[in-house]
Amino acid sequence: MLAVIPLIFALQQIMEGWVWMTFTHDEYRMSRDIPVTVFLFFAQVVWPVWVPLAILKIERKASVRAALRILCFCSFIVAPLQAYRLFFHPPDVSITSHHIHYQLDAIYSPMGAILNVFYFMTTIVPPFVSSRRSVLLLASFNFVALIVTWLASRPNVVSLWCFFAALISVQVVRVMGDMNREQQLEE
């Protein structure tokens, strides 16, 4: 599951490229809902489930696995709620400050705030819980990217953080290499 993360991000970024095309080419404008929905489905629904499960699958320490199972349980609560929000309260999408802005109506509501807490618990925390150093480095890069994105362009954090996370996902190659070396040493 972990090794597939860069590929999922690639697909997600292709969708965001399609969103850009709907703003710059009139012939694509009518198809905007498709890439917006797919992009946000990955960003808001897939990642909260994928990240804790992927980290759980590579974790060896029992105590860490127990903590990751709790985060996985949280992800199975947040993902359907995020999907509900996405499909029943579709976002407004615009270009602001040379970025794609996804206006998710429920973000500033009490329910939106709760969803955001669970979202960050399931996407940010699991790699920090890992006992693997290379995963902790991945977590650190991702967290720094989130903070920088938040400070630089808070209204556009969904788009920008996904872009930086896609770049950072190259660190997954290092994680997989470290896991390979560990396995070879055990044999």
> Which residue type does 138 have?
L
Position 170 pLDDT exceeds 80: yes
Distances (CA, A) of 107 to 5, 21, 44, 74, 103: 25, 26, 12, 18, 8
Q: How high does pLDDT run on average in the chain?
A: 90
**What pLDDT is attached to residue 50?**
97
What is the spatial distance between Cα 71 and Cα 49, in angstroms, rounded to a whole number? 9
Mean pLDDT of 70-83: 93
Mean pLDDT along residues 125-141: 94
